[in-house]
Structures are given as structure tokens and as C-alpha cells.
Amino acid sequence: MGTPGKVIKCKAAVLWEQKKPFSIEEIEVAPPKAKEVRIKILATGICRTDDHVIKGAMVSKFPVIVGHEATGVVESIGEGVTTVKPGDKVIPLFLPQCRECNVCRNPDGNLCIRSDVTGRGVLADGTTRFTCKGKPVYHFINTSTFTEYTVVDESSVAKIDDSAPPEKVCLIGCGFSTGYGAAVKTAKVAPGSTCVVFGLGGVGLSVIMGCKSAGASRIIGIDLNKDKFEKAVAVGATECLSPKDCPKPISEVLSEMTGNTVDYTFEVIGRLETMVDALASCHMNYGTSVVVGAPPSAKMLTCDPMLLFTGRTWKGCVFGGWKSRDDVPKLVTDFLAKKFDLDQLITHVLPFKKINEGFELLYSGQ
């Protein structure tokens, strides 16, 4: 490609400050240092977590390049990189897998110590690879995919099957894997069970797909926006309801609807009130409720401890419980084997320069 070892000038969507639209800028992307990989981005999805940075619900330094759900091709590698090579098709990972920390070594762990959940905005060596107008631009959760080129640590990249369509499998980088894994890996949904999913966005739909694939017999979708019901039923929901139509608390409505048999509930919105509603909605003794939606930072949750004392299980779930570098390639292979359909999750395909329009579509619920 003639670019290895050189600074690449390219277009990126830069957020200069909170609550402002993206600005398409020419940036410089430095070559990868040791144990780093520079990637040409082919396709990227828009996720509500990116919006959390714009709105200030998630901590970040500015200016920043967000985006974390993408497919790309390795352009060049730094010294000591052994798991990918130039030309490989890859998915950048917002959840790294160093394979060395105690979390990575635990069979049930996936929140690697190298995860940047605190908004440090730099790579492992403490510096950034992006500059714009002479200023450093910060990274976002190890990925930064709203740019034509990005640099990530080797622990934050997974090599995938070369035949995978980039504009579809990019969703495996976050939204699909998070929802699908919440059902099949974190909750371990049992065949014949009853599941309730709060929030029918892309991740909520992916939870439904996971519940269906695990053999749940009843899957109830909950959302204030009834326009989302048709799609939810198309991917596997057996019925849907809006809390606006319920004369009493949603937990009571669900108990009556199901004869008090809700085994699993999933909160896929990130609102404190619905987290408690979801917990109260699963069976008081053997129910499991999974928090999937990213909660707002610096907020405290209060609930009646009796909800847990009676035997319920309340679980959190990061990236569907998957070990990123090990499991993302397998999920791509499963997609190619038609084990699930990502087309259902794609509503619009836009050119990069229309990224602000993409976020308007997100805000309007489309």
C-alpha cells in the first residue's frame, strides 16, 4: 500500500466537545508502535454508547474520535505483533483480551484489565496516534472507528474470515454480540423458558435472537415505541407490549400474563428505573435478571433488597460475556453458516460523510 511506517492523512468524524455534532476533518494517523495495529476501516455501525459520549453520560477526553463497532483491513503492524498481518480482515475490539491478566485467565472472565472504561483516551503506552490541526485527538475505548484509519493495541483486534461482508459483521463488534451473548452466555437461557426483553433497539433485538436460539418458548418484548414491535416479532418475540398501555406496574402485568413464570428478564436500555422493573419482573425465587444496557455514569441505584432476598439472581453483562479475541471470529463463522441473520438489525446504510444524519435517525427511533 506504500503507507507502512508513514503518517496517513485521512478523514475522520471528530467530536470537539460535548453536545456538538461531528465535524468531518482531515486528521493525521501515526504509524503503529510496538504491539500495535493500524487498520483501514471498511464499515462501522452507530451504537447508543457513542451517543453517551456526546451527551456526557460517559466520561471522555476531548477532542475525541468515537465509534467502536466496525470491520476493517490491517494496513500495517508494529514490532512484535504476531496474531494479525497486513491484509487480514479484522474487527477492532472495544473489550480487549490480553490473555495474561487474572480476568483473561479465568474461564468465566471477559473484562480484561486493559479495558478503557474510565475514558483515558490513549493506547497502552499512554499516548494517542491521532492529531488534527496540530492538536492531539483522543481514542475511544481502544477502538475509534469513525475514521478512515485507526490504530489499536494488538490485544484489541480479532482476525476474521476474509469472506465476511464488512457492512454486516461490523455489528458483531458490539451490538449483536452484546445482546445475543447476554441470552446464550450470561443468562444461559434454558429451552422452554419465558423471557422478557426491556428495550427493542438493535441490542434488544439481538437478545431476542439469542433467547430464540436457546429455545425459549415465550419471548415478550417491552418498549414505549410501538413502531419497534413488528421488527421484534420478526426476529423471534412472541408478543410485545408498551408500559404506556399498562394500568399497573409492568412487573404485575407480566406476572398475570405469564401465570408468574418469567424465568429471565433483560434490561437493554440503561435506565435505572427499568433495571429495577426488570428485576421485579422475573420470578421472585428462581428468576434471573441481566443488566445489558450501559448505565449512566455517577448515578446510584436503589432498590428493595427483598427483591433479591427471595432468591432472584441479578447479573451484569459486558459484551455478552464473550472473550473477545477468542469468540468474535467464531461468531463471524456462525454468521457465515447462517446460524443468525444480521440483516434484521440494519435499518440504513449511509456514506461516512452523513454520520450526523445517522445519529438523527438514532435519536428519532428509526
Q: Are residues 299 and 325 in the same domain?
A: no
Q: How confident is the model at residue 119 (pLDDT cuts 50, 70, 90)?
A: confident
Cis preceding linkage at 247, omega within 30? no
Full-model pTM: 0.92
In this predicted structure, the answer to whether residue 117 has a pLDDT above a threshold of 90 is no
Q: Are residues 34 and 55 in the same domain?
A: yes
Give the pLDDT confidence score for residue 306 in this predicted structure: 95
- Region 166-176: what's the mean pLDDT? 95
Q: Are residues 300 and 238 in the same domain?
A: yes
Q: Is residue 181 part of a domain?
A: no
Give the pLDDT confidence score for residue 298 in this predicted structure: 64
Q: Are residues 236 and 168 in the same domain?
A: no
Q: Is residue 87 part of a domain?
A: yes
Percent of the chain beyond pLDDT 70? 99
- Region 294-318: what's the mean pLDDT? 89
More confident residue, 11 or 364: 11
C-alpha cell at 350: 449511509
In this predicted structure, the answer to whether residue 1 has a pLDDT above a threshold of 60 is no
CA distances from 210 to 170, 176, 187, 203, 213 (A): 18, 9, 10, 10, 5
Q: Give the total number of structural domains in the chain.
A: 2
In this predicted structure, the answer to whether residue 106 has a pLDDT above a threshold of 70 is yes
In this predicted structure, the answer to whether residue 293 has a pLDDT above a threshold of 90 is no
For 309, the domain range is 187-316
CATH number at residue 50: 3.90.180.10
Q: Are residues 311 and 334 in the same domain?
A: no
Give the pLDDT confidence score for residue 52 in this predicted structure: 83
Q: Are residues 219 and 333 in the same domain?
A: no
Q: Are residues 112 and 155 in the same domain?
A: yes
293-330 burial code (b ≥16 CB/10 A, e <16)? bbbeeeeeeeeeeebeeeebebeebbbbbbbbbebbbe
Q: Is residue 182 part of a domain?
A: no
Q: Are residues 145 and 243 in the same domain?
A: no
Q: Are residues 287 and 157 in the same domain?
A: no
> Which residues make Cβ contacts (< 8 Å) with residue 324, sequence separation at least 6?
93, 95, 96, 97, 110, 112, 156, 158
Q: Are residues 215 and 290 in the same domain?
A: yes
In this predicted structure, the answer to whether residue 363 has a pLDDT above a threshold of 90 is no
- Region 124-151: what's the mean pLDDT? 94
CATH number at residue 302: 3.40.50.720
